[in-house]
Homo-oligomer: A and B are copies of this chain.
Amino acid sequence: MNGQNIDVEMAEAESGSDRVRELLEISAQLFAERGFDATSMRDISKAANVSKALLYHHFTNKDDIYARVALSSSRHLNDFVEERIPADGTAAERVRAFMVATASFFAQHRPAWIAASNAFWTDRNRQRVDERMARRDQFEKRLRQLIREGIEAGEFREVDPADAGRLVLSAINWMHRWFDPEKELSAEEIAARYADLILHGMKRG
């Protein structure tokens, strides 16, 4: 699977339409720049150069668009990362792969990532919030498991897997605030540097 095409595949699976994919990408960009509340259906139709009628043909309302954008930033994350964890690696290699893959996924879906992050505190759609939370919990659980395996194998010292997992996710999650795709280091390189720092602190010995 080519990561660059995830949004495409996803939107097509959902609607069978290139146009929907394009509308979702434009919406993600606007939500990221302005926030959900400050973006109107009119703004989206203008930016996409389509009529509002056409927009309402494809989407029930702005909430519907937002739901698809926000979910696209997380729905495929868990699988994407899981596929990139080497089955036969050391615990350090596996945690590092988890970090690099997560950063890579976020960088590939940057507008949706920023939009979803912006809406975290203000999203009032209970079901949507619950779905994202459940997926996030599962993701965090998987990371803790990787850390626990390292401790049990004697590779990591006896850190608290919850604390260490939070540190890992904080480092990557916070990147949406300052990571600049125009700058020298890629998201993957930054994640690898964080991995060096954190894993060095977890190493037994």
Using CB atoms and an 8 Å cutoff, list the residues of chain A in contact with chain B. Answer: 32-38, 114, 118, 120-122, 159-160, 163-164, 166-167, 169-171, 173-175, 177-178, 193-194, 197-202
Contact = CB atoms under 8 A, between A and B. Distances in A.
Nearest to A160: B193
Main secondary structure of the interface of A (DSSP, over half): helix
B193 A197 contact: no
A33 B124 CA distance: 10
A28 to B, nearest CB: 13
A106 to B, nearest CB: 13
Closest 3 CB pairs of A and B: A201-B201, A37-B37, A170-B174
Interface-central residue, A114, A160, A177, by most chain B CB under 10 Å: A177
A31 to B, nearest CB: 9
Interface-central residue, A33, A34, A122, A198, by most chain B CB under 10 Å: A122
Contact of A122 (B34, B159, B164): B34
A93 to B, nearest CB: 17
B121 A167 contact: no
A183 to B, nearest CB: 12
A166 B197 CA distance: 11
Contacts of A163: 193-194, 197
Nearest to A177: B120
Contacts of A121: 32-33, 35, 114, 118
6 contacts: A33-B122, A35-B35, A35-B121, A166-B174, A167-B197, A169-B174
